[in-house]
Amino acid sequence: MAEINVTPFVDVLLVLLIIFMITAHVVEFGIEVDVPKTKTVKESNKELPIIIISKTGLVYLNKDEVNVNNLAALVRDKYDVKKGVYLRADKETPWDPIAKVMSILGDASIGVNVVTQLEEKAR
């Protein structure tokens, strides 16, 4: 017979498929993300409120600690929300508080500008 037996090949592929399906969700949680480095294009003169998230998850509006649930109302009362806000987080901050703040501000139709760290050469 001149035909190739593909049964062992299919068996190996199915086993590899099962291994990748089981291990794929484990890999997602092991990714570390640093604040992206950017170059300055030009000076910005936007005077926007700054929301700071510490590495412990505490949320500050400028220098005052605030409750996350009241954040959108406080920003609306004190500032012009048409321009948006700056969001600055520590490099070691877990993603959950950042996502929660962005979600709350997004639901309130407040624009979010994420602050990044400057490259070493640009400083």
> The domain that contains 109 carries what CATH number?
3.30.420
82, pLDDT greater than 80: no
Does this model's pTM top 0.75? My answer is: no
72, pLDDT greater than 60: yes
Mean pLDDT of 79-90: 81
Per the domain annotation, does 105 fall within a domain?
A: yes
Backbone angles phi, psi at 9, to 5 degrees: -65, -45
Question: How many domains is the chain built from?
Answer: 1
13, pLDDT greater than 90: yes
Cβ partners under 8 Å of residue 68, min gap 6: 59, 97, 100, 101, 104
Per the domain annotation, does 27 fall within a domain?
A: no
* Residue type present at position 100: K
